[in-house]
Every structure is written in structure tokens, then in C-alpha cells.
Structure 1
């Protein structure tokens, strides 16, 4: 019975508060109830009222109605403290599985302002914030993650108990934008070689310490610095030079280099290798089933590879699909492939 009630309550709230990265809180979207202190306060008022009726004491009547008026005034003030407030998701962060991912919000107050507003999600609670009338305050809420993938909180709670803590007014923002959680890096077995087939042969063709460049047509995502502009001015063809030499031959980080290993474990191995190659500032490429990222270097290329590892085999979350926080909806088998996508060097 209780489970059915909770399910219907959540379904009703979800219909009333559809997913959106921005919400203006009004009377239709704000909930208010007495807190524990408010319930005790109300019981004391009831006892005082019964006592005043029993003893026909005018002073008790006066105190009862006076405190009752304070309670009603606090109810209006608590509700107005949240009414007219606009909460907007500005951007999401990225991090590795097991870490807390930042979600950056902006709270904009109405002409009444907002005092002691608190944001929370999955046990992470921000300190109370105060927003001056017609002003904005930016805050970052860190949402915990458990596994790689898309991280989209089901609800971000916003509440206030100002001024006396007797009542609690609250609502939710259900973000539509998801953050990306990278696979937790795990050191790969040393016996596995990350050189792709044919790399040794190509390396033998280039003398050590001598620069060598492979010319290829420009692809979307290639760095503009690597385009041979003089040749483009002469022939009108955009050609990119893949330089090799002092930095060594580019390594291929390949998903298929770990036969018999769980897919998620392979992704963790590759995540660690991407970090290692990035620290060495060495060129590397990434091969996943259905996706290839050409060799390149730099922070942008590293982020691109980590994002590819994070979302491999998954679809972006939609309203019809309830993705747990940073977890997979289902296990991705070794044989599962995504549509063919070929990505060039980092833009």
C-alpha cells in the first residue's frame, strides 16, 4: 500500500514538474508543510486553546490567538520566500566514476528576495544562500556518481524554513541536461601492448630522431594549425600533416586488445591509458567497436577520448528512460556495437 502511494505521488510530481533546466517557482509548484517544531507548536496552541476555554481565561485566549497569528504570518512568509524564485542549470561538469560531479546553478530572486535557500541532492546539501531582490547567486552542487555514463539527477531539492523554522516550503528542479561520468581508471596489465597492427612496420620506415609527416585530406575535427595552408592556397585542397618523429609513433588504444575481459573493465583500462599518454604528451588514437578517434595530442583530444569511453554503448537519457545516477541501464556486452562513427583529431 505504501509503495503504491509513493509510486503515484512520484508520478503526480513528475507530471506537475516536467524535466527542464530552468524553473520559476510559483504557487502551483511550491509545497509547504509544518516541520517537527511546527507540529509541536500547533499542539501547544491547541492545548492553550482548550485550557482557555476550560478556565474562561482572557489572557490565555490572547496569547493563543497572538501566537496563532504568528504561525499564520510565518506560513505566508515561508511561502513567499520561495515564490518567484527562478532556478537555472547553467552547466554540468565531468569527472571519473566514484567522484562527485558539479552541477552549476543560478538562483534569481524576485522583488521580495530569498533568504536561507538550501539546495540538496542525494545526500549532498549546500549551505543556506541568501539572494537579494532582483539579484542572482551562482552555486555548485556536487552530485555523487557510482559508474560511468550519463549522470542526470532525478530531482534537485530546493527548500526554505525561513523565518522561524516552523514550516518548510520546498519544490524540485528536474534537470534535462546530463553530466558525463568517465570510467574509473584502472591500471592495465603491463603485458598488453597498445601498438596497433602495422605500427612496428611504420616505425621501421622512419629513422629515429627524424621527423616524418603523413599527408591526408582534412577531416572535421582536425586542428587548424596542422592544415598546410600554402598548399591550400595553391591547389584549393585542404591537406593535414600527421607529424611523427621526436614524439615517437602514435599508439592505438584498442578495445579489442583485451580478449575475454569484461567490457567495463576494458573501458577502465583504456581510461587509465588515456591519462598516461596525455601526461606524456604523446600522440595516441582510440579504437572502440563502432567508433574510431584518430591519433592526436592535447587536452581537448584527451577529453574527447574520455567522453567516448564514458558513453560507449549508451544512449543519451530521455524523459521516457529513467537512468540511475551515473550508472548503466543494462550491462554492455562485448559484442554490442554502436553505429559507425569516425572522429578526426581534436578541434
Structure 2
């Protein structure tokens, strides 16, 4: 019975908090959603007051009574001030950021004070804390909260905590914000092996280009995974340097980054390869298109096009988190990373 209570009690608490604090990107802190409890120092302070009171009763000492009641009044005043420090505050999620898997993704929040100043606030989420020193009454302050990411996909922290222990640290008042908006986490770039896309761009197919007929090829050192057909063997015979002709560096015509070009590899690994290729093409300013199962992005160039492609890679095969669900590190489980084929087969069955 005790084990059953221990297993169900956290779920009951979480359900109660979720009902009391619904998901929203704008939250006003009121009596309904604010919580206050003594800190460890406050508990010790209260025990000392109790001991002093018992001592005063035992010895009928008026001075002990005076000090005890004076310190008790300070404790009650601190409780009201701690609660008042958060009451009326408005917390707004301004922007859910973007980043690569494994990095911190920035969530931009705005803290707007009510009729009273907000002093010594702390915002936290997923083991990251950001202090906010002082927000004058009627003004606002922008805060950048880093949230750690693990997987690609949508990232939405279940709760963002705002807390204060002002003025004496004897009590803490806090609440949570449960955002609706989700950040987008791009696949972690992985250096891609040489691969040829079979997508026809309307001008020429990458697999049909002739090394001898392309005068715009760029030469680069050989890397592990490069195809032997692209090695400049004549130059190797003359100089002993292993170089390959990189026709994908040609900026005169669009090129395709193809999901199906990496046959036999894991789906998540393919997305990592494509993420790296998108960054490489973006650095060189080359035109490229992206071919994913169920989605095709036409060839283009520029930072906006690269960001669009990275977003497509990030959310491919993903469902946006529902308002009632919690997706702390993206919308996939760790098992999906290692067994994507089994997960796809199970969904079909």
C-alpha cells in the first residue's frame, strides 16, 4: 500500500499543478497560482522562535517575550513582502529559439512588474537558472533562459519556474509557467561521406556528370568515404597527392541534397549528414535543394533557405507537441534513435 501511495502521489501532485496552471505563453501571477513556503533557514528561524517562546514561558521573562514577538513580527512581515514581490507580475514567452541537438536553446521571456517593484527574481528551467536583479514598477525586463536539448524535433520545457526569496531568504514564493510555443532543434551535423543524388534538377543529374567534362570542379584533399571514381589518379601518379574533384562545389547550377542518397544508413544518421551538408552549402553560397520523403524544397541559396532546410530536417517525421503533453527534450524517445525502422514498422501495423 505504501509503495502504491509513493508511486501515485507525484502523479497526483503533477495533475493538480497542471489543472491549476494551464498552458499559456502569457501568465499573470495572482493569488491562485502563487505558492509560498519557508526555506531551510526559515524553518530553523521558526524553531528558534518556538524555543525562545518556551523559554520565556518557563522563566516568565518579559525581555524574552519582547524579542520573540518582535522577531515573529519580522517573520510575518517577510512573508507578506515575499509574496508581494511576485504578485501582479506578468511573465510572457516572447520567442522560442532554435539550435542544434545537444546545445542549449534560448527561450526569450519578458518579465513585467505590476504596481510594485520586483526584486531578486530567479528564472529556471531544466537545471538552468537566470537571475533577474530588479524590475521597477510598471517596467519590464527581457530574460534569455537556456534550455538544454538532447534530440532533434520540437523542444518545449514542461515548466519554467520563477522564484523569489526577497527580502531575508526566510521564505520562498514561486510559481511555474507552462508554455505553449515550442522551440525547434536541428539535427546535430555529422560529416557526410561522398554520396550522389539521383534527383533530376531539370538540367542534369548529379549521377550523370562526367568528371572530364566539368571544367568548374574544385579540387580538395581526399577524405575517408570519398568515392574512388572522383580521385584524380593522374595527379596522384605525378605528385603523390590524393585529391578528389568536388563537382558539388560548382555554383553554376543547383544541386540536390537527397535523403535517399545514403542508402542502408540509419534515418537519424542521414538527417545528421544532410544537416552538415546544408551548413557546408550555405557557407560556400551554393544553390541547393533538399529532397526528403514527403517533402521537397526547391533549389535556392542564402541564410533564409538554409534555415528553412534545417527546420525541415528538424521536424521531419515529428508531431508538434499537444497543449496537454510534455516534451522536455524534443518529441522522440531515446529508443527511436536506435531503432527507427522498428518504430516505423510498428506504426504501420
Please confirm whether the aligned pair reaches a TM-score higher than 0.5, indicating the same fold.
yes
CA distance in 2, matches of 1:5, 1:89: 30
3-state DSSP of counterpart to 1:247: coil
Residue in structure 2 matching 1:319, options 316, 323, 334: 323
Deviation at 1:128, TM superposition (A): 3.2
Deviation at 1:92, TM superposition (A): 1.5
Residue in structure 2 matching 1:278, options 252, 275, 282: 282
The answer for unaligned runs of 5 or more in structure 1 is 210-244, 338-347
Deviation at 1:138, TM superposition (A): 0.6
CA distance in 1, matches of 2:274, 2:196: 12
Map residues 165-184 of structure 1 onto 2, 5 A cutoff. Answer: 165-184=169-188
Per-residue Cα deviation, 1:240-288 (whole angstroms, up to 9, x for no partner): xxxxx97232111111111121111110000000001111111111011
Residue in structure 1 matching 2:255, options 251, 254, 276: 251
Map residues 69-148 of structure 1 onto 2, 5 A cutoff. Answer: 69-148=73-152
Per-residue Cα deviation, 1:105-141 (whole angstroms, up to 9, x for no partner): 1100011110001100111101232100101011100
Deviation at 1:185, TM superposition (A): 0.2
The answer for unaligned runs of 5 or more in structure 2 is 217-248
Map residues 180-329 of structure 1 onto 2, 5 A cutoff. Answer: 180-190=184-194, 192-194=195-197, 196-197=199-200, 198-200=204-206, 247-329=251-333
Q: Does structure 2 retain, via aligned residues, the 8 Å contact 1:114–1:130?
A: yes
> Which structure shows the bigger proportion of residues in helix conformation?
2
Q: Does structure 2 retain, via aligned residues, the 8 Å contact 1:274–1:306?
A: yes
- Select between 323-332 and 64-73 the one with higher mean Cα deviation: 323-332
Q: What TM-score does the superposition give when structure 2 sets the normalisation length? A: 0.81
* Number of aligned residues: 300
Q: What TM-score does the superposition give when structure 1 sets the normalisation length? A: 0.82
Deviation at 1:5, TM superposition (A): 1.1
Q: Does structure 2 retain, via aligned residues, the 8 Å contact 1:105–1:140?
A: yes
Per-residue Cα deviation, 1:177-197 (whole angstroms, up to 9, x for no partner): 00000000000113x224634
Q: Does structure 2 retain, via aligned residues, the 8 Å contact 1:100–1:144?
A: yes
CA RMSD of aligned residues (A): 2.2
